[in-house]
Amino acid sequence: MFDVKRIREDFPLLKTKMQGHPLIYFDNGATSLKPQVVIQAINDYYTKLGSNSHRADYDLSYYTSEAIEATRKEVASFINARPEEIIFTSGTTAAINGLAIMLKKFLKKGDEIILSYHEHAANTLPWFALQQELGLVIKYVELTKNGEITTDNLRRLITKQTRIISLALISNVMGVVSKPQKISNLIKDQNIIYIIDAAQAAPHEKIDVKAFDCDFLVFSAHKMLGPTGVGVLYGKMEQLESLDPYLYGGSMNDKYDKTGKMSYLNVPTKFEAGTPNISNIIAFKAAIMYLKSIGMEQIREHELMLREYVIQQLIKEVPKIIIYNKEIESNTVIFNIDGVFAQDVATYLNSYGIAIRSGEHCAKLLHYYLGVGSTLRLSFYLYNTKEEVDVLVAALKAGGDFLDGFFK
């Protein structure tokens, strides 16, 4: 049974107050709160291990190395991959940037990369940089009226020059879910690299890279109850073996000499130069185990219940509400109040201890689809409640003079 009251007891930050009010945290699309087991795991590393990994012949270093590899196995199990296909990075942004650098050797002037207007800056700017450097062509798949990506629209865009398709599994703004199996089937045997940005999906959906049949998939720990500064780059083994490292240093090399001749260790070690974010990688395992103990399907059902409830209440109680993704099933609700600047609303809600995101949400191309730049984003997670939604709606109803009298 999904017991949100019990779950909330695991999150210390929910016991604090903001602006004299209990914290209500609706910005989970940006980052999630951390349960005590994750915080404790970080503390345990510094109090019980404290050493570097893969660099010494004493017990503490061995135990540290084993703890990192245990996380790698847990991540692999979570997305149905092999442990050696899991590379630790500092986050989704670092993973995509690294991929762009490593894939550069396979690209030439005139080659095409397909994106969508949904994409986060982490999945646009690295490709823009390559576009400028190599003379690539960036193309955008047409969205339906609900913001969805269809295989028909994608098919019309693909040519013999298409080399990369890089799309979010779930949009960080609209919450639109792409259909990876259909995309991978569409491009099978076309020598097109398929990359999935799963930063918004991994915290909420079951990820199965074998079913998706993608070449690469990336996500971050901090959006799924884990620490900041840890990300994952998954790649099919044959793809990873074809790539050269994008970081060089200790732990990734087999040997080198004064002439500059060098060789690398095997995948994934050859992509993990330097000292990793050890404490946070170890704590990431605690986050995944916590999510698995609750159940991803139960978390998803809870979020969709909250989403349906908040949309009903906003439409019923808040004048001039504009909701942009009413038809999309996700953990996010994107809205504005007609005539009121989004940041003003977010600042006002902060006075009630309500944390909500406003602005472009790092997806600055989406205005081409929405026709508006700044919006408000509610993003739910497993510890949010209907009672918190009621506080939000009541605060908006009481907006009055602060929000330029939009209720008048």
| pLDDT tens-place values along the chain, 408 residues long | 799 999 999 999 999 999 999 999 999 999 999 999 999 999 999 999 999 997 678 999 999 999 999 999 999 999 999 999 999 999 999 999 999 999 999 999 999 999 999 999 999 999 999 999 999 999 999 999 888 999 999 999 999 999 999 999 999 988 899 999 999 999 999 999 999 999 999 999 999 999 999 999 999 999 999 999 999 999 999 999 999 999 999 988 989 999 989 999 899 999 999 999 999 999 999 999 999 999 999 999 999 999 999 999 999 999 999 999 998 999 999 999 999 999 999 999 999 999 999 988 888 888 888 888 899 999 999 999 999 999 999 999 988 655 655 544
Of 202, 179, 176, 163, nearest to 119 by C-alpha is 176
Strand partners, 334: 377
In sequence order, the 6+-apart residues with CB closer than 8 A to the CB of 347 are none
Q: Which residues pair with 264 in a beta bridge?
A: 253
Structure tokens at 346: 């977010």
Alpha-carbon span 49 to 28, nearest angstrom: 31
Beta-bridge partner residues of 253: 264
Q: Any idea what the Cα angle at residue 296 is, between residues 292 and 301, rounded to 5°? A: 145
Q: Are strands 253-256 and 262-264 parallel, antiparallel or unpaired?
A: antiparallel
> CB burial class (10 A; 0-12, 13-18, 19+) of residue 57?
exposed
Token digits for 19? 């602006």
* Cβ density class 122-155: b for 16+ within 10 Å, e for less: bbbbbbeebeeeeebeebbbebeeebbbeeeebe
Can you spell out the DSSP letters for 11-59? Answer: -GGGGSEETTEE-EE-BTTT-----HHHHHHHHHIIIII---SSS-SSH
Give the residues across from 322 on adjacent strands. Answer: 336
As a whole number of angstroms, the longest Cα–Cα distance in the chain is 77
In whole angstroms, give the CA distance from residue 389 to residue 313: 8
Torsion over CA: 128, 133, 135, 136 (sign)? negative
Specify the pLDDT at position 363.
81
The Cα 153–Cα 176 span in angstroms is 15
| C-alpha angle 137-142-147 in degrees, rounded to nearest 5 | 135
Which residue's entry shows tokens 């080198």? 256
pLDDT computed for residue 362 by the predictor: 84
C-alpha span between 135 and 36 (Å, rounded): 49
Helices 59-79 and 278-294, axial angle in degrees (round to 10): 40
Contact present, 239 and 334 (Cβ < 8 Å): no
Give start and end residues of each alpha helix (H) in 57-123.
Answer: 59-79, 92-103
Provide the whole-model pTM.
0.96
User: How are beta strands 193-197 and 162-168 bridged, if at all?
Assistant: parallel
Helix orientation angle between 342-350 and 386-397, rounded to the nearest 10 degrees: 120
DSSP string, 306-321: HHHHHHHHHHHH-TTE
**Number of C-beta neighbours around residue 188 at 10 A:** 10
Question: What is the C-alpha separation between 304 and 322, in angstroms, rounded?
Answer: 19
Report the alpha-carbon distance of residue 147 to residue 368 in Å, rounded: 11
> What is the rounded CA–CA span in Å between residue 366 and residue 84?
36
Alpha carbon 364 to chain centroid distance?
17
Residue found under tokens 């602005």: 359
User: Catalytic residue at 214?
Assistant: no
Active-site entry in 232, 346, 362, 393: 362
With a CB cutoff of 8 Å and minimum separation 6, the contacts of 383 are 4, 7, 8, 11, 14, 25, 33
Q: Please provide residue 264's backbone torsions phi and psi, each rounded to the nearest 5 degrees.
A: -110, 160
